[in-house]
Amino acid sequence: MRSDYLFTSESVSEGHPDKVADQISDAIVDLFLSKDPEARIACETLTTTQLVVLAGEIRCKGVYENGQWAPGAQAEIEKTVRDTVKRIGYEQDGFHWEKLEFINRLHGQSAHIAQGVDAGDNKDEGAGDQGIMFGFACDETPDLMPATLYYSHKILEQLAKDRHSGAAPFLEPDAKSQVTLRYHHGKPVAATAIVVSTQHKAGYDEGAKKAELEAYVKQAVGAILPEGFITGETVWHINPTGSFEIGGPDGDAGLTGRKIIVDTYGGAAPHGGGAFSGKDPTKVDRSAAYVSRYLAKNVVAAGLATRVTIQLSYAIGVARPLSLYVDTAGTGTVSDAALEAAIAKVAEEKLGGLTPRGIRLGLGLNKPIYGPSAAYGHFGRTPDGDSFPWERADLVDALKAALS
């Protein structure tokens, strides 16, 4: 690995149109899992000017069975969608939680997919699709995430917090950030460039109001980055295109699953081809990516490497992964092959294996816990109760024991 370089990651806010779509899709996942922990959901969302459309395949006891909606189910789905948009903060002429048109095109899950995924008398539950999934961790931040992405997320979380609290009443929901850091001897040491584009109320693109917005952004970013990262050489781009009054789904259509680099590791590691939001945990796009992060985080937390990438692969309808791959980029205290063996052993003992059933039961994924994951990244979050179980660092001792 190079030791001295520049690296950049970006994030988008909860009000970005693609993130609005992700949050709606995961609100539907949570709604169905709250009714039926074994529900099957693949919910895609389209957002545009005063319109939200749901599409996809579902199966859920008490909600949608045998091709029929339960009484009141569709009204509850619509309320969930509108409540999500309201929570984000959209009450604009071009996108308003109460005034938008809502179309529900969810339908029953394909019987041919179900026969491959469902467990049977002589068959374990199979993967919901084929694919490759990656997990990553490094020692650049307390949450063992790439620093560029970590700070990009934190900047937008702070802007959203101040918008909701009224501390920054000139902000609107849509925003993007980008952080470029200088690395020296492989460690982040300074911010060379900061980009923040935030939707704002009328008038905050010129004169004293523009200066107020820019001063606020610089103060918010300065409070998040470590002391000394902002220097006289840091280049700032705050709303570089000028006015940003029209934003969100009114400014650009949004779709579920279009921000998977933002959702994962900011480009610092590979990611699989499938998105997470809108999918129940039998879909390995989601659950196997979560368990890969869980295992990677525990490897770094155990001091077995300073950075590690883990890959899993699956075939649709097949329970066990086709491969497990570990790469510590030369930072491991043991060989990568030894780590692979230890990870497989610990996963079998602690989770019941890396099958879809083992992952979702071992991590407790059959619960309505996904809404908070749909903005500001699925990884590097604080585990709390049932939330973000894949961020726990509770395999450290088991991994060490497996290698002793």
- Measured distance CA(18)–CA(47) in Å, rounded: 8
CB proximity list for 121: less than 8 A, separation 6 or greater = none
> Pick the catalytic residue: 55, 70, 114, 253?
253
> Pick the catalytic residue: 95, 244, 379, 388?
244
| 319 assigned to active site | no
Query: Are residues 357 and 119 in contact, defined by beta-carbon separation less than 8 angstroms?
Result: yes
> Pick the catalytic residue: 7, 10, 14, 19?
19
Query: Are residues 26 and 260 in contact, defined by beta-carbon separation less than 8 angstroms?
Result: no
| 206 assigned to active site | no
CB proximity list for 375: less than 8 A, separation 6 or greater = 13, 14, 19, 22, 23
> Pick the catalytic residue: 16, 307, 357, 378?
16
- Measured distance CA(403)–CA(127) in Å, rounded: 29
Give strand ranges (E) for 49-165. 51-59, 64-65, 68-69, 101-108, 131-138
From the list 368, 308, 313, the residue with the least C-alpha distance to 333 is: 308
Query: Are residues 244 and 254 in contact, defined by beta-carbon separation less than 8 angstroms?
Result: no
| 18 assigned to active site | yes
> Pick the catalytic residue: 82, 154, 279, 378?
279
| 16 assigned to active site | yes
> Pick the catalytic residue: 143, 252, 336, 340?
252
CB proximity list for 228: less than 8 A, separation 6 or greater = 190
> Pick the catalytic residue: 40, 82, 163, 258?
258
> Pick the catalytic residue: 59, 82, 153, 259?
259
> Pick the catalytic residue: 38, 57, 124, 245?
57
| 258 assigned to active site | yes
| 384 assigned to active site | no
| 35 assigned to active site | no
| 176 assigned to active site | yes
Query: Are residues 125 and 317 in contact, defined by beta-carbon separation less than 8 angstroms?
Result: no
333 Rama sector, left if φ>0, alpha if ψ -120 to 50, beta otherwise: alpha
| 253 assigned to active site | yes
Other CB atoms within 10 Å distance of the CB of residue 170: 17
Query: Are residues 191 and 181 in contact, defined by beta-carbon separation less than 8 angstroms?
Result: yes
| 285 assigned to active site | yes
From the list 358, 211, 198, the residue with the least C-alpha distance to 290 is: 358
> Pick the catalytic residue: 22, 140, 280, 285?
285
DSSP one-letter code for 275: -
The set of catalytic residues is 16, 18-19, 44, 57, 176, 244, 252-253, 258-259, 279, 283, 285
